[in-house]
Amino acid sequence: MTAQRIAKAAALIMVLTLLGRAIGLVREMFVGAKFGAEVLGPFVVAFNLPNIVGITLTGAFSAAFIPLFTAELEKGHRDAAWRLASAVLNTVLLGISLLAGLGMVFSRQVAVLLATDFSPPLLDLTGELLFILFPTLILSSLGGVTMAMLSSLNRYFVSSIGPLLSSLVVIASIFLLAPRWGIHGLAWGTTLGALLSFVVMIPSLLKEGFQYYPTLGLNNPLVRRLWMMILPVLFGVGVSQIHILIDSNMAASISEESVVALKYANTVAQLPMGVFVSAVAIPLLPALSAMLAVGDQEGFKNTLARGVSYYALILLPIMVVTMLLSDPIIQVLFQRDKFDASRAAMTAFALVFYGLGFFPSAVRDLYTRGFYSLHDTATPVKIGALTVFIHVGMNLLFIPWLSHGGLALATSISNALNMVILGWLLYRRVGGWSFRTQWNVLYRAAIAATLMGVVLAFSFSRLIALFPGGGWWATVLSMILAGIAAALVYGGTLLALGTPEVREFADKILSKIKAPRSAPPAMGLPKNDGE
């Protein structure tokens, strides 16, 4: 995949993901306003386990599957690729169905493990919700493999629109099912949304000529190679997600409100991560794998380096905005009905610390994908396991001082540590890349983001003071106006500092504006195709 095709794919994914995340925020606004912490806390705990297991399995199969599947496609071996895909789908269906079935049978016991400090009634409710949500394990896992195939085939539209459709189903369940079944209706809506997200991808896969084979591929060398790769990846991706379960359990020991506050803070934090990071990361792994398959080592290194630069330019200003305006952001998005001022303040407090981890988390994932493209799944596992132990230690250290905010801070610090170690190891592994280019972009982005932050804080405080008692609309207007001023300062500073990527972008915009438009063809005169 060329750089131009990566950029086009990233743009499409970014637009669709932004729309999906926006609908997801609307979904969370309705959920937060509808349910109190006494039922929302158990739902968050119940949702986390199947969601994390689904993410782990999806990430593991995608990371190990995409390089092999893409390599077969590049070689023109489509039948071998379909046999590999069929073996993965069949194994996932059998294995995950067994796991989900066991989870449903022992849902009450699982609830005790997830929230040891919940009261018996809350544990009963958590178990009931787990029973409804465990089938999402099967749907999300099958959907993850299907999405991996479509990504390798450069089909991103349908796979990116799935979360949007899922959110719409959940929103509908709040109005149609929750009035009768309460929080259980929300759980059923979540499961139905996962089903739709998977089913909608099937027609696109069939159009690509997918051939199904009823096989587990036990005698297929390609499948055996996949399993050799996937076991450490399973552990590695699981390690990167396990901190969510750890944080949820520790937050439950503080209060149900702490569980809800962390959940909503993380929801907001995942908006820029999902939109901008996923837009680059989803087409990147097939591209990196394809480069290595044809021996383009320099293209591999340059793509990694540019990915870090793009993340710095995009995420550093978003980090500043999130940390400085965490209170008004949460108030505008969620503070209504049962999502009161106390819950909003707790959520905003955690969001500040999550914001610190935007850039390190994105670059960590980029480096991890670099290792996966090299068919090295063990190194990210080892580093991830190390940082999990550090993460737990920091949780215990920070909770007495920062309460649930300490859990968010520990997450950001452990992600940063993971990023540094992985980056150093990958740099040595591939023979290095242009650190000077990255540093030139990073320090310019840091200076511009700092100046932007000063302007943002000053202008927002002055603007909001002009509307005493203005309420929601005054906060939104103040954030928009302050944000425009801050964005102008950020972009202007980057241009003044001579940031190459920004200058290139500005030149393209100016060239399109200045380009003369071709005259329309004369009416009534047929065009000579031979000219």
Domain ranges, ordered by start, for the chain: 18-251, 255-433, 443-511
The tokens describing 121, both together, are 């009634």
Max intra-chain CA distance, the chain: 82
Give the mean pLDDT of 411-437: 87
Mean pLDDT of 122-136: 94
- Beta-carbon contacts of 273 under 8 Å, excluding residues fewer than 6 positions away, are 358, 361, 362
CB atoms within 10 A of CB 27: 24
Q: What is the pLDDT of residue 525?
A: 40
Burial class (CB in 10 A: 0-12, 13-18, 19+), 376: middle
Quick one: pLDDT at residue 279? Answer: 64
- Provide the pLDDT confidence category of residue 348 given band limits of 50, 70 and 90: very high
Contacts of 123 (CB under 8 A, 6+ apart): 108, 111, 112, 115
Would you say the C-alpha torsion 52, 57, 58, 63 has a positive or negative sign?
Answer: positive
Query: What value does the CA radius of gyration of the chain take, rounded to a whole number of Å?
Result: 24
Residues 388-403 have pLDDT tens digits of 889 999 999 999 999 9
Q: Output the pLDDT for position 421.
A: 95
Question: Taking residues 420-447, what's their average pLDDT?
Answer: 86
* pLDDT confidence tier of residue 14, bands split at 50, 70 and 90: low
pLDDT, greater one: 15 or 260: 260
Specify the residue for token string 């995949």: 1
Cβ(288)–Cβ(370) under 8 Å? yes
What pLDDT does residue 512 have? 63
Residue-level pLDDT at 522: 45
How far is 487 from 455, CA to CA, in rounded Å?
9
Helix axes 78-105, 136-152, angle to 10 degrees: 160
User: Of 54 and 312, which is predicted with more confidence?
Assistant: 312
CA–CA separation, 437 and 441 (whole Å): 6
Is it the case that residue 511 has pLDDT exceeding 70? no
In angstroms, how far is CA 483 from the centroid of its own chain?
24
Query: How far is the C-alpha of 487 from the C-alpha of 278, rounded, in Å?
Result: 22
Bridge partner residues of 339 (DSSP): 336
Query: Does 3 score more than 70 pLDDT?
Result: no
The DSSP output letter for 469 is T
| The pLDDT of residue 523 | 40
pLDDT at position 4 is 58
DSSP H or E segment with residue 72: helix 37-74
Burial of 431 (0-12, 13-18, 19+ CB in 10 A): exposed
Average per-residue pLDDT for the chain: 84
Burial class (CB in 10 A: 0-12, 13-18, 19+), 412: buried
Report pLDDT digits (tens) over 178-236: 999 999 999 999 999 999 999 999 998 898 888 899 989 888 888 888 888 777 777 76
Rounded to whole angstroms, the Cα distance separating 512 from 201 reads 36
Whole-number pLDDT of residue 147: 84
**Amino acid symbol at 441:** V
| Comparison of pLDDT for 209 and 511, the residue scoring more | 209
Q: Amino acid identity, residue 483?
A: G
